[in-house]
Structure 1
Amino acid sequence: MSVFDDLVGQEQASAVLSRAAHAAAEAVAGGRGAGMTHAWLFTGPPGSGREDAARAFAAALMCPSGGCGHCDQCHQVLIGSHPDLEAVKPEGLSYSVKQTRELILRAAGAPTQGRWRVILFENADRVTESAANALLKAIEEPPPRTVWLLCSPAPDDMIITIRSRCRVVSLVTPSGEAVAHVLATRDGVPWEMATFAARASQGDLARARLLASDEGVRRRRDAVLAIPRSLSGVGECIAAAERLVKTAEEEAAAATTLLNESETTDLRRLYGEGSTGKGLNRGLVRGGAGALRELEDRQKSRATRVKRDSLDGALLELVSYYRDVLAMQLGATVELANDDHRFELDSIAKGSTAEETLRRIDVIMQCRERLAANVNPQIAVEAMMLGLRRP
């Protein structure tokens, strides 16, 4: 058994990381450690498991046996409680230079258990330009036992100076069969549901687990896939855009409301609200109001990110829908991601041309670009719906 056994469909990357972990152990013992480096960049499409691969590698670096998967070191890394692991996940739209500098200071500390100090930076592509420059200096001159594990969808998402100083680990999208096997054998999902979820998620294991376990997620998917056949007029396009944006807002509120309340309560308590006793008042002490404003700004940014991610997921569902339409129009012998909607797919495929389908896919991708550029979601999605409208 090994921590790399849980990486679905990543045999080549697992072999590279396993060799590097053994080289790291050699370096700890005073050897050369050829094959180990201080900065790694994990890249791959959604669902490839970038963060899972980086965490498995972190466990292998900490483990005396190179990632056995069952010792205390491996267990602590995998559940996120290891004292020498700093896991960072930008929750807002970006990761600021202030946050990056604070992270660099924490990364400079020596490992407490004598092996490595590991910084696992999820969504590292969200750093701002100034934050990327600060990060570059830390990667150029790292402490001797600090290892940076950066995760990004593609190498080009990181500035070239950072990319050139990292060893790139390229992950691939797992096959539908591999994902279905994991759902059936590890999660106990019935085989029929496992194959449906694997096909519909297009190899994204996390998405497949949601589809297999949450009926609400399946209903939202069906609602998104019902959009193309509903766009018969301008009014229907505007209504569909409003529903899509409203659903994303509701999902963002559901995902963040309780967390926001908990964070705000904890911060107010930290700054003395409700304290009693001689010399104390029941309000916030000095500095509390400013800290509260900073927290509110971070919470708004996080809500915007969750809303944008929800919208982007819906747009990718639409891309997969029109990709299936295009496959049917061209007679391609590929598995349809949305085979459970074959009747609707066939109807649209017969009622349009491949050129029209490609144009619609371009319209969706343009909407994604606009949302990434902070265009008002309602306006961007309305423009997309009008572009998808059937003539």
Structure 2
Amino acid sequence: MTTAVQEDVFSSLVGQPDASATLRRATVAAARLVSGEPVPPGEMTHAWLFTGPPGSGRSVAAKAFAAALQCERGFGCGECGGCRTTLHGTHADVRTVEPEGLSIGVTEVRSLVVQAAGAPNGGRWQVVLIADADRLTESASNALLKAVEEPPDRTVFLLCAPSAHPDDVAITIRSRCRLVPLRTPSAESVAEVLLRSGVDSATAAWAAAASQGHVGRARWLARDSNARDRRKEVLDVPRSLTNLGACFTAAEKFIAAAEAEADASLEGVADKETADLKQALGAGGTGKGAATAARGSAGALKELERRQKSRATRSRRDTLDRALVDLAAFYRDVLISRLGAEVPRVHPDIADLTTRAAAAWTPESVLRRLNAVLACREAIELNVKPRIAVEDMMIALWQG
């Protein structure tokens, strides 16, 4: 028993004992390599791929590992300057790429690779963390592959991707990475995290179940009444589908609720980014230099606006997908009730509604409705316009 194991950076990984153990061993090996000591083969490698379902903590695990690699004490204490600056996103040797829109382009990856090719400033590791590596474009994947094939001695690549679609990461890159599979945390594990943050036990248990193992969403549901109201709007959909016109009305409300949640999560971000960029470009200054800078700022502001729109589109798509997952779980609960299965329900707070639906629908019709929701998710992922996909789904749910 050691306090370090309980309180290190990996304690942020919820319900991931196997992954935590693997990363702790690699951290020890990495510290030995920095000291010039030999390590067993396979304990530490230059490229890692973190996979798992949404909410499993892929990027959390990658960031914790990045902090541990920069730890001045060599185990990821969470207290030293290396750990703190990495976790706060300010460490000079840790570069993180997150898609501003629906994809990560080649220009950004090439710039990243060039920067990561140098020796680490702090004498430990250059770390490149790519969240949502499945969104790399083909040309961006090719640029990254060259760096992964022949990495500098002290550069480590940490890639994150959903386990549902591992083929979205190029096989040439996957084959050169050590895999760290994460699983959906149990409701008990998520509830424990909420309890430690001051949430009461009843709310923690409910939010943990309703979030389906997604820690971030569980926190949001536990603390944000607007998030709870938007979830209720989603779960009210099935009983609102009384005729064809109601299907189109429900589709409009469904998309509006998802967009409202996405916009709330980004509230104020775009305005701050624009103001910061204008200030950096000399807005409000006087003299010839300021006037020249102002004339040249139009291109930079236009590019920022493009990235902000792309990010907003991605956020709305992701939030809509979470709403569809909530709706799919409703039909799952109905099927469980219809078949009398002794398994926990995702939405225990609306058990009366799912029980009534189970009495009215056959198991076959419930499965058809569940498949309609899953088909909508797939259609949106294939870039079908969300409104068209959701309207088709609503009609299928009404028809049963």
User: TM (normalized to structure 2)?
Assistant: 0.93
Deviation sequence 1:297-355 (CA, Å, 0-9, x none)? 11111111111111111101001111111111222110001011011101111111222
The alpha-carbon deviation at position 172 of structure 1 amounts to: 0.9
Q: Secondary structure at the match of 1:281?
A: helix
Counterparts of 1:279 and 1:229, CA distance in 2: 63
Matched to 1:158, the amino acid is V
SS in 1 for 2:50: strand
> Contact between 2:259 and 2:320, CA under 8 Å: does it hold in 1?
no
Residue of structure 2 aligned with 1:11, choices 17, 26, 33: 17
Structure 2 residue runs of 5 or longer lacking an equivalent are none
Tell me which stretches of 4 or more aligned residues in structure 1 moved more than 4 Å. none
| The one of 166, 185, 202 aligned to 1:174 | 185
Work out the CA distance in 2 between the residues paired with 1:139 and 1:202: 35
**Structure 2 equivalent of residue 202 of structure 1:** 212
State which of 221, 244, 247 in structure 1 corresponds to 2:257: 247
381, 384, 387: which one pairs with 2:390?
A: 381
**Residue 308 to residue 279, structure 1, CA distance change in 2 (3 Å):** closer
Q: Partners in 1 of 2:28 and 2:213 — Cα distance?
A: 30
* 1:92 matches 2:115: no
For residues 268-295 of structure 1, give each alpha carbon's deviation from its aligned partner in whole angstroms, at most 9, with x where no partner exists: 3433443312465387233x22222222
Shift of 1:31: 2.5
8 A Cα contact 1:25 1:33, kept in partner: no
Distance in 1 (alpha carbons) for counterparts of 2:221 and 2:346: 13
2:169 corresponds to 1:158: yes
Q: Secondary structure at the match of 2:295?
A: coil
Q: Percent identity?
A: 54
Question: For 1:110-121, what aligned pairs fall within 5 Å after superposition?
Answer: 110-121=119-130
Q: 1:335 to 1:279 in 2, by over 3 A?
A: closer
Counterpart residue number, 1:56: 64
Q: Distance in 2 between matches of 1:201 and 1:189?
A: 15
Relative to structure 1, is the Cα distance of residues 52 and 188 closer, same or farther in structure 2, using a 3 angstrom cutoff?
same
1:143 to 152, 163, 166: 152
Residue deviations 1:8-34 (CA, integer Å, cap 9, x gap): 111111111111111111111212333
**Which piece of structure 1 moves more, 63-72 or 116-125?**
63-72
Report the equivalent of 1:345.
354
Q: Quote the Cα distance in structure 2 between the aligned partners of 1:148 and 1:337.
A: 36
2:242 alignment counterpart: 232
In 2 relative to 1, CA 266–65 (structure 1 residues): closer, same or farther, beyond 3 Å?
closer
- Cα separation, 1, equivalents of 2:9 and 2:385: 43
Q: Does 1:262 align with 2:272?
A: yes
SS in 2 for 1:284: helix
Pair 1:90–1:338, CA change in 2 (3 A): same
For 1:37, give the aligned amino acid.
Answer: T
State whether structure 2 residue 319 is matched by structure 1 residue 313: no
Could you tell me how far 1:264 is from its partner in structure 2?
2.3
Distance 1:123 1:253 in 2: 20
Q: Which residue of 2 aligns with 1:28?
A: 34
**Equivalent pair of 1:271/1:285 in contact (CA under 8 Å):** no
| Aligned residue type for 1:21 | T
Partner of residue 360, structure 1: 369
The alpha-carbon deviation at position 170 of structure 1 amounts to 0.4
| C-alpha contact 1:272 1:282 (8 A) present in aligned 2 | no
- Normalising by the residue count of structure 1, what TM-score does the alignment of the two structures yield? 0.95
When residues 363 and 252 of structure 1 are mapped into structure 2, their CA distance, relative to the original with a 3 A threshold, is: same
Give the alignment's Cα RMSD to 1 decimal: 1.7
| Mapped partners of 2:396, 2:249: distance in 1 | 14
Query: Structure 1 regions of 5+ residues with no counterpart?
Result: none
